Structure 1
Amino acid sequence: MLKFKLLLWGLTKLLQRAINNNPACAKYVRGKALTFQIQTLGGIGRHFTIQNGGIRSTAGLTQSPQFTMTFRDAAKGFAILSAKDGKEAFLGALHKEDLAIRGDFVEVMWFQGLTEYLQPAQKKAH
C-alpha cells in the first residue's frame, strides 16, 4: 500500500517536472482544467488537478472527478502503473478486471497523451 501511495505522489512530481522542463508538455496542459483520481477498490488513492498550466495532487479522494481509475488493490495498482510496457499492462488489467475506468473517456485519452511526456526520449538511429 505504501509503495502505491508513493508511486501516485511521485507521478505528480514527474508530471510537474515534465511540464516545467518540456515546452511541448507545457503547451499540452495549457488551458486544461481537469480533476481525476487514481484509487483502489478499498478507497486508497489520490486526486489530481490540472489547472492554470500546472498539476497538483492531494492524498485522498474527491467527490466529483471527471474520471477515476480504480485498481483491484494497491499491489495491482503499483504493478500496472510501474510496468515498463504501460499500454499493454493497462489493456491487460482492463481485460482481467484488475482496473476499472469510470467517467469521461475523452479525458482519459487526453491523460494518456500527457503520460507520453514521461517516456524517455527515443534515440534516433543513424
Structure 2
Amino acid sequence: MLKFKFLLWMLTQLLQRQIKTNPDCARYVAGKDLVFQIRTEAGVGRTFFLRDGAIRSVAGLVDQPRFTFSFKDAGTGFATLSAKDSQGAFLRALGNQDLVIHGDFLEVMWFQRLTAFLQPPKKPSPYERTAF
C-alpha cells in the first residue's frame, strides 16, 4: 500500500519537473483545467489538480473528478503504473478488469499523452543510419 501511495505522490513530482523544465510539456498543459484521481477499489488514492499550467495533488478523493483510474488493489496499481512496458501493462490491466476507468475518455487520452513526457528519450538503435 505504501509503495502505491508513494508512486502516486512521485507522479506529481515528476510531472511538476517536466512542466518546469520541458517547454513542450509546459505548452501541452497550458490552459488545461482538470481534476482526476487514481485509486484502489477500497478507496485509497490521490486526487490530481491541473490548473494554470501547474499540477498538484492531495491524498484522498473528491466527489466529481473528470475521470478516475480505479485499480483492483494497491499492488496491482503499483505494478501497472511502474511497469517498464507501461502501455502494455495498462492494456493488460484493463483487459483483466484489474483497472476500471470511469469518466471522460477524451480527458483520459489527454492524460495518456501527458504521461508520455515522463518516458526517457528513445535511444537510437545502433542499426539506424545517422545523418552526417
Under TM normalisation by the shorter chain, which class is it? over 0.9
Structure 1 residue 105 displacement after superposition: 0.1
TM-score (norm 2): 0.94
One-letter amino acid of the counterpart of residue 84, structure 1: K
Q: Which runs of 5+ in 1 are unaligned?
A: none
The 2-side partners of 1:62 and 1:21 are apart by 29
Q: Residue 104 of structure 2 aligns with which residue?
A: 104
The 1-side partners of 2:70 and 2:59 are apart by 15
Q: Residue 77 of structure 1 aligns with which residue?
A: 77
Q: How does 1:49-64 map to 2 (within 5 A)?
A: 49-64=49-64
**Paired residue secondary structure (2:58):** strand
**Paired residue secondary structure (1:69):** strand
**Paired residue secondary structure (2:61):** coil
Q: Residue 4 of structure 1 aligns with which residue?
A: 4
Structure 1 residue 122 displacement after superposition: 1.5
One-letter amino acid of the counterpart of residue 56, structure 2: R
Q: Residue 25 of structure 1 aligns with which residue?
A: 25
Identity %: 60
**Paired residue secondary structure (1:32):** coil
Q: CA RMSD in A?
A: 0.7
One-letter amino acid of the counterpart of residue 50, structure 1: L
Q: Residue 40 of structure 2 aligns with which residue?
A: 40
**Paired residue secondary structure (2:31):** coil
User: C-alpha offsets along residues 24-45 of structure 1, whole Å, 9 cap, x if unaligned?
Assistant: 0000000000000000000000
Runs of 4+ in 1 over 6 A off after TM superposition: none
The 1-side partners of 2:40 and 2:101 are apart by 11
One-letter amino acid of the counterpart of residue 118, structure 1: L
One-letter amino acid of the counterpart of residue 21, structure 1: T
Aligned length, in residue pairs: 126
The 2-side partners of 1:38 and 1:54 are apart by 18
TM-score (norm 1): 0.98
**Paired residue secondary structure (1:113):** helix
The 1-side partners of 2:61 and 2:11 are apart by 16
Q: Residue 95 of structure 1 aligns with which residue?
A: 95
Structure 1 residue 123 displacement after superposition: 2.5
Q: Residue 120 of structure 1 aligns with which residue?
A: 120
